[in-house]
């Protein structure tokens, strides 16, 4: 059908001109020669082309608006996700505190077992080492990049020891090490691993 249309010139057209139009077609897969007779048909053809062009431009504009709205919604959803994640962390910390204090209250006043006595002894050793001749407490305050990087970790350690030593004499070893650190507000995972491996005993 298409081949017959291209090989046979329309009525009133020179076959050689029609053949030349077929040869010079810039996109044979999408375009075909179209016969136009007179100025009126040429004007009508131009109007149709403008309408088609405006239609495609409107579609493109609608797609751009849709993309912008999608990006805005994605940004809002991401911000909401971050907010919910922060709330989830806060609830997790509060839950750890509640569980820790609940267990501490339940076990308060009970006799110390052997593991808790060892814990108290090891905590006292660490505090004595920090307050000893080496003056490790003063070293962390020196103005150097290395000490500055360790400052936060060292402060967590001092804070933990200041609380653990007096508590351990009564009854401390009553919940997991991670709960202890979270209850005291420590968020540094490397410090958690360091503390658990150096002076916190496993729950028995």
> What is the DSSP annotation of 10-39?
PTTS-HHHHHHHHHT-S-TTT-------HH
Model pTM score: 0.40
Average pLDDT (173-186) is 43
Q: What is the mean pLDDT of the chain?
A: 73
Please indicate whether residue 65 or residue 159 has the higher confidence score (pLDDT): 65
pLDDT at 116: 76
pLDDT at 81: 96
* Residue 162 confidence class, pLDDT cut points 50, 70, 90: low
pLDDT at 74: 96
Please indicate whether residue 147 or residue 74 has the higher confidence score (pLDDT): 74
Helices then strands, each counted (H, E), the chain:
8, 0
Rounded Cα distance, 98 and 111, in Å: 23
- What's the maximum distance between 2 C-alpha atoms anywhere in the chain? 115
pLDDT at 75 over 90: yes
* Residue 152 confidence class, pLDDT cut points 50, 70, 90: low
């Amino acid at each position: 059908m298409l081949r017959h249309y291209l090989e046979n010139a329309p009525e009133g057209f020179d076959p050689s001109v029609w053949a030349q139009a077929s040869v010079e077609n810039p996109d044979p897969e999408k375009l075909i020669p179209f016969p136009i007779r007179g100025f009126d048909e040429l004007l009508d053809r131009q109007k149709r082309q403008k309408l088609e062009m405006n239609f495609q431009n409107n579609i493109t504009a609608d797609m751009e608006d849709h993309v912008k709205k999608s990006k805005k919604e994605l940004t809002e959803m991401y911000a909401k996700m971050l907010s919910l994640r922060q709330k989830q962390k806060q609830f997790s910390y509060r839950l750890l505190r509640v569980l820790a204090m609940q267990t501490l209250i339940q076990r308060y006043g009970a006799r110390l077992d052997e593991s808790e006595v060892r814990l108290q002894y090891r905590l006292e050793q660490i505090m004595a080492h920090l307050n000893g001749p080496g003056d490790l407490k003063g070293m962390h305050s020196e103005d150097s990049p290395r000490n500055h990087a360790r400052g936060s970790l060292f402060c967590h350690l001092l804070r933990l020891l200041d609380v653990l030593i007096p508590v351990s004499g009564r009854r401390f070893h009553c919940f997991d090490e991670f709960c202890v650190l979270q209850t005291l507000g420590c968020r540094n995972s490397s410090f958690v691993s360091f503390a658990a491996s150096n002076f916190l005993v496993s729950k028995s």
